[in-house]
Amino acid sequence: MVQQFLNDGGVALLESLLYSWDALPANTGQAIATDVTGDGRYEVVVAMRDPTSSSVFPSGALHVYGCLAGGYVDLHSETTDGLALEVLQVSDADTDGLDDVAYTESACGAHTCMVSLRILGWDGSTFAHLMGGLLEMPYPTYTLSPGRIDAESGRIGSVGAEPQRDYSEVWEWSGSVFTVTQQVWGAPVYRYHALLDGERALLAGDYAAAITIYEQVIDDETLEAFPRHYTEAEEKAWLSAFARSRLAVARIVAGDQTGGQAEFILLQISHPPGSAGHEVASLTAIFAAEYAATDSVEDACDAVLADTTASTAVLDFFNSNYGYANPIWEPPDLCPF
């Protein structure tokens, strides 16, 4: 049917008819004529939705029609089940001189729509997907320029996801696919998010930055609390204990044995038995004892993870107090060396 309308009236008529049938996912820009195959003739890219569906989220479809023997034929098609599909942009994304089709697929739940970006291009003989991984965010803003995607995340619309923070990614063309090359977190508002910044620096081997950030977690009174299941004082005690523990380890792996030992001692003094965060001090004492015996950070971490009682308490603190927009903590995260 679509081919017939293209043959009879072209793109403008087709888009007008699809709009009148409520078959377009957006009012305009969903039927585009452009040369995506490089053969010198226009193909027609069309995104549609099922107007007969009773579903809240009707299935979508993307078609690329090309001219053959004086008429239009379907060169490429794909459909989604329960996902809204919409053309975002038709442009030369991969810098090969041919237009590519950037489109989104949206899956909506009770509170939030998650939107993934896909890019379809011509590889010389067939259509191929150009994303080298899943780029999916809640209510995002995707901006495409030649060889680059700037992706800015929105917020999940549920209190169960809190706390949240600004987040964006940069994806760049590798020569074969788009891959993520930068992850950018906004400046932390909450003390917990500052701790996560320290974790990223520590795992990246940037021990100087990690030490600075963990000190900020302990000392910066402008950072806000998020005490969902704890008092503000208890949450700060837990986070400060964990940051102090990480300071000790970061100093040791950076070669500052004396500084690391001083942090171990200070942690035991500041978090005695019965205080919030004492389980962190207990695990750190195990680490210190094993490290003193073996001079091995890896062996010390193994000993920490063997204490399931204390490690479970620490995991429960993180996983119960912070919502699903934040990382889920697993045992190896407590001592990732």
Strand positions, DSSP E, 123-268: 127-129, 136-138, 141-145, 148-152, 167-173, 178-185
Burial (CB < 10 A; 0-12, 13-18, 19+), residue 233, is exposed
In this prediction, residue 99 carries a pLDDT of 96
Distance separating alpha carbons of residues 51 and 84, to the nearest angstrom: 12
Residue 300: domain span: 191-334
- What DSSP state is assigned to residue 40? S
Give helix then strand counts, H and E, for the chain. 8, 13
- What DSSP state is assigned to residue 329? P
Measured on CA atoms in the order 219, 326, 315, 206, is the torsion positive or negative?
negative
Measured on CA atoms in the order 79, 57, 26, 132, is the torsion positive or negative?
negative
Same domain for 178 and 206, yes or no, is no
Same domain for 138 and 37, yes or no, is yes
Same domain for 50 and 167, yes or no, is yes
In this prediction, residue 9 carries a pLDDT of 57
Same domain for 291 and 162, yes or no, is no
Distance separating alpha carbons of residues 116 and 129, to the nearest angstrom: 13
Same domain for 299 and 228, yes or no, is yes
Q: Specify whether the CB–CB gap between 229 and 162 falls below 8 A.
A: no
Q: Specify whether the CB–CB gap between 173 and 94 falls below 8 A.
A: yes
Same domain for 218 and 119, yes or no, is no
In this prediction, residue 309 carries a pLDDT of 86
If phi over 0 gives left and psi between -120 and 50 gives alpha, with beta otherwise, what is residue 323? beta
Among the listed residues 44, 124, 45, the one whose alpha carbon sits nearest the alpha carbon of residue 88: 45
Distance separating alpha carbons of residues 13 and 10, to the nearest angstrom: 6
Of 127, 162, 185, the residue at which a domain comes to its end is 185
Distance separating alpha carbons of residues 277 and 5, to the nearest angstrom: 69
Low-confidence stretches of the chain (pLDDT beneath 70): 1-10, 56
Burial (CB < 10 A; 0-12, 13-18, 19+), residue 297, is middle
Same domain for 104 and 129, yes or no, is yes
SS3 at position 257: helix
- Say which residue the tokens 């407590």 belong to: 334
Q: Residue 171 forms beta bridges with which residues?
A: 149, 180
Instruction: Give the chain's radius of gyration (CA, Å).
Output: 27
For 336, the token pair is 């990732």
- Measured CA to CA in angstroms, residue 275 lies from 49, 196, 281 at distances of 58, 23, 10
- What DSSP state is assigned to residue 334? G
Distance separating alpha carbons of residues 303 and 216, to the nearest angstrom: 28
Same domain for 235 and 156, yes or no, is no
Q: Under 8 Å CB-to-CB from 256, ≥6 apart: which residues?
A: none
In this prediction, residue 102 carries a pLDDT of 98
pTM (two decimals): 0.86
Of 185, 204, 234, the residue at which a domain comes to its end is 185
Among the listed residues 275, 274, 205, the one whose alpha carbon sits nearest the alpha carbon of residue 240: 275
In this prediction, residue 54 carries a pLDDT of 72
Domain total in the chain: 2
In this prediction, residue 21 carries a pLDDT of 85
Of 128, 150, 185, the residue at which a domain comes to its end is 185
Q: Specify whether the CB–CB gap between 64 and 36 falls below 8 A.
A: yes
Same domain for 119 and 209, yes or no, is no
Same domain for 20 and 143, yes or no, is yes
In this prediction, residue 157 carries a pLDDT of 86
Same domain for 23 and 171, yes or no, is yes
